[in-house]
Structure 1
Amino acid sequence: MSTYTVSGRFQSRDGYQPFTKEVEAENEDLARERIYTNVGSQHNRKRSQIEISEVSAA
């Protein structure tokens, strides 16, 4: 497993909230999926409310 740094933003009450998170995954697609599930569950947001701008190997 590799570590990926994922950055983007999600909708909040005050507009958009930026984020940068590190996740362990086997490839970039799985890293994106983990971000969608983690940010979505933590902030009660749907996938359409989360925008991922960059995924890079750390």
Structure 2
Amino acid sequence: MSQFTVSGQFKTRDGMQTFTRSIDAVNENVAREHIFSKFGAEHNLNRTQIEISEVVAE
């Protein structure tokens, strides 16, 4: 598995909040899915409320 750094923003009551997370995944698409899943569980967000701007392999 590879290490990916995913950055973007998600919707909050006060506007948009930026984030950067490092995650282990098989490929870029799996890394995106993990981020959608994590933020959905932690912040009760839908996929449409999360914008991923960059996925970089390390």
Length-normalised TM-score, structure 1: 0.98
Counterparts of 1:44 and 1:16, CA distance in 2: 15
* Structure 1 unaligned regions, length at least 5: none
Please list every run of at least 4 consecutive aligned residues from structure 1 whose deviation after the TM superposition is greater than 4 angstroms.
Answer: none
Q: How does 1:15-54 map to 2 (within 5 A)?
A: 15-54=15-54
Q: What's the C-alpha RMSD, in Å, of the aligned pairs?
A: 0.4
* Corresponding letter in the other structure for 2:20: T
> How far does residue 56 in structure 1 lie from its aligned partner after superposition?
0.3
How far has the Cα of 1:40 moved from its partner? Answer: 1.1
Counterpart of 1:4? Answer: 4
- The aligned amino acid for 2:50 is I
Identity of aligned residues (%): 55
Q: Which runs of 5+ in 2 are unaligned?
A: none
Question: Which letter maps to 1:43?
Answer: H
Displacement after TM superposition at 1:47 (Å):
0.2
TM-score, reference length from structure 2:
0.98
SS in 1 for 2:31: helix
- Alignment length (residue pairs): 58
